Structures are given as structure tokens and as C-alpha cells.
Structure 1
């Protein structure tokens, strides 16, 4: 029986899992940060500085989430919106886009693989909203939009930041 001073558990099981999950991810990041050399670089900080900051911030968030759950649950949280069940077909389209991007990026290049990912993900997101997925004209429009997004990103990374991304030509422009 609960005493008058102890809060009544008013949380969903997933709420506690979120806090514990945040602490676990923080621990994994901290373990990974241990393997990064700590030699001071530019401005006196080493390459392991940012992973430690992220790990610490995530650990603080995890502790605060768990404290919130143990003191009564997320009290200010509105009721969830959307469908009661997940849309598995939409998830399949988005997942296919991400997986094909990863599988094809070195074969067909960054721009085309990211554009394919965009086309498939947008189709899945439309379906999740209950809208038509789109026929051939919409797919072509999505592909052009994907290219218009991916190409400047590719050029920014390869030409301005000198980050090597897979292309399909030796010139480095596509």
C-alpha cells in the first residue's frame, strides 16, 4: 500500500525504458570515448572531448527522465496523436530507402543513392499520412527533388569541406 507522501505510479512502462535507454546509450558513448586518444589539439581540447560532453549530457537527461518517471510519470505530456497502430507498409518503404542507400552508395554514387532514399522515404511518409503514394509523375518529381537536395550537399562536402564521398565519375562533380 502506498503511503500518503509517496507518489502513485502513474507512468507507462515505456517511460522508464526511455530513461534507462538514455543511460545505456550514454554508457556506450563513454566506453567508446575511452578508446579515442586524448591528446590536446586545436584550442587545447582533444578529439575525445565532444564524445565525453555528449555522453555526460545524455546521462544527465537519462537521470532526469528516470526521476520524472519515479515521481509520478510524465505529468505534462499530452495524449499521443496519430493512429493507434503503426503503419508497417510505410515503415517498409522508409526502411527500404535507408537500406538501399547504404547498399548502393558506393555503386551508384552519393547523389543517386540519396535521391533513391528520398523517393522511397517520401512515398512511405505519404502513405503513413493516409495520402496516395503517388504515381509516375509524382515519383519523377520526387526524384528531381532528391537530386536537387543531394547534389548541393555532395558538392559542399567534396569541394568545400574536402570530405570524400562516393561519386560515379572521376571528375568529382557527380
Structure 2
């Protein structure tokens, strides 16, 4: 006996919403001035990249919603199930602490270290139990971002790793 595939309308709404946000962002970025000024990349590059990513994710989520629901989503987590949701207060605490630490320390220890700590605390909030690995991943993510924003866009971020560098 074959299984019937039903459309999950709440999940489809999430995918369509991301498509709309991506389209609005692309429309806005298209109207940015193309003049690069003193930076390597124009101001439209990052918004267009984010718009493209949102469009891709929205398309994939919409496809999953019409082909049986989000893949890798437990039935208990399905928004269409209508059951009561369990809050994750510990996860919220860790992510909130990460944001607060970032805001308090970014000027003292620099963008890269503060953002790496934010990443590690957010990962802890999502269940990671390996803080050193998470800080390492955070460093690997924030170093290229620092260089992209400072060299590519010519933005002035707080120092690389504190006032000494």
C-alpha cells in the first residue's frame, strides 16, 4: 500500500516567507549604488548573497512541505501536530549569555575572540558538550568574516583579538 503525501501548510508558509524575504532583500540590494568606493566589494554583494541563500533555503523548505513535510523532523516536533511545545530554558539561557558576553567584551578582547565565545555559548545552548572544539569552530568562522568585512567591505570592526592587535 502506498503512502500519501500531504501538504503541510504551516511548513509551506515558512518556506514561502523565506522566499518573500529573499526577494525583498534582493530588490533592495539591486538598488544599492554599484560604486565600490574604497572597498573591494560593492555594498550590494553581501545582501545579494544572503538573498540568494534565503531563496535557496525557502525553495528547499517549500519543496519539502509539499512532498510530505520537513525531512528529519520528528513527529513530536511537527508544528502541524498541535501538541504543546516544551521550552528549552537552559538553551535560551546559554544563547542569551553568549549575546551578552559578545556585547560586553567585543571592545575589550576584540571581534574574533568575543564572537568565538558567542559561538561556543550558542552551541552549548543547542546541546554541544565540547566547548574547546566550539571555540575552535568559532575562530574558524569569525576570522574570515573579520577579513571580509574589514578588507572586503572596508568596515571598521573592533580589533582582531583585543586592543593589542
The TM-score bracket by the shorter chain reads: 0.5 to 0.7
Decide whether aligned partners of structure 1 residues 27 and 144 sit closer, same or farther in structure 2, where only a CA change above 3 A counts: closer
Task: Work out whether 1:75 is the aligned partner of 2:68.
Answer: yes
Which one has the largest radius of gyration? 1
Aligned to 1:3: none
Residue equivalent to 1:101: 102
Stretch deviating more after TM superposition (76-85 or 113-122) = 76-85
- Taking only aligned residues, the RMSD between alpha carbons, in angstroms, comes to 4.7
Q: 1:149 to 1:57 in 2, by over 3 A?
A: closer
The match for 1:30 is 26
Gaps of 5+ in 1: 1-7, 132-137
TM-score of the superposition, structure 2-length normalised?
A: 0.54
Greater RCO, CA 8 A, separation 6+: 2
The answer to whether the 8 Å contact 2:14/2:58 transfers is yes
SS at match of 1:28: helix
Q: CA separation in 1, counterparts of 2:49 and 2:112? A: 33
**Structure 1 ranges of 4+ moved more than 6 A:** none
Cα 1:81–1:61 change in 2 (3 A) is closer
Quick one: structure 1 residues 29 and 101, their matched pair in 2 at CA, closer, same or farther if it must change by over 3 Å? same
Tell me the number of residue pairs that the alignment of Structure 1 and Structure 2 aligns. 144
* TM-score relative to the length of structure 1: 0.52
Give 1:153's aligned residue: 143
Unmatched 5+ residue regions in structure 2?
78-85
